[in-house]
Amino acid sequence: MSSKIGFIGVGIMGKPMAKNLIKAGHVLTVYDVLEEPVKELEKLCAAVAQSSKEVTEKSDLIITMLPDSPDIERAAFGSKGIFEGVKPGSTYIDVSTISPLTSFA
């Protein structure tokens, strides 16, 4: 059984995780500010979103893997961010390499 998963941040650490989710049969929507890893995942059948908000609108489970606290703050709370598009009942998992204080904000 597949899940609709959104993955925000598909760089050095996020891209291999996203690839494993695709291999496991999950429906994956991805977003990153870097174009190259997104295009690579698109070739593996990931859907491409134009914003974090769009990822959340298309997903039941949202995963972020971002490099720094300001990045996750923009992705979650910024314009077209996660919390503008998240649906009731969705699950959000942040596995970013950020300050623990940011993850509890």
Paired strand residues for 56: none
Residue with tokens 């899940």: 3
DSSP state of 79: T
The domain limits of the chain are 4-96
**pLDDT band at 1; cut points 50, 70, 90:** very low
Which fold would CATH assign to domain 4-96? Rossmann fold (3.40.50)
What is the pLDDT, as a whole number, of residue 99? 77
Tens of pLDDT, residues 42-88: 999 999 999 999 999 999 999 999 999 899 999 999 999 999 999 99
31 burial via Cβ count (<10 Å: 0-12, 13-18, 19+): buried
CB-based contacts of 67, cutoff 8 Å, min separation 6: 9, 11, 96, 97
- The mean pLDDT of the chain is 92
Helices assigned H by DSSP within the chain: 14-23, 35-43, 52-57, 69-77, 82-85, 100-103
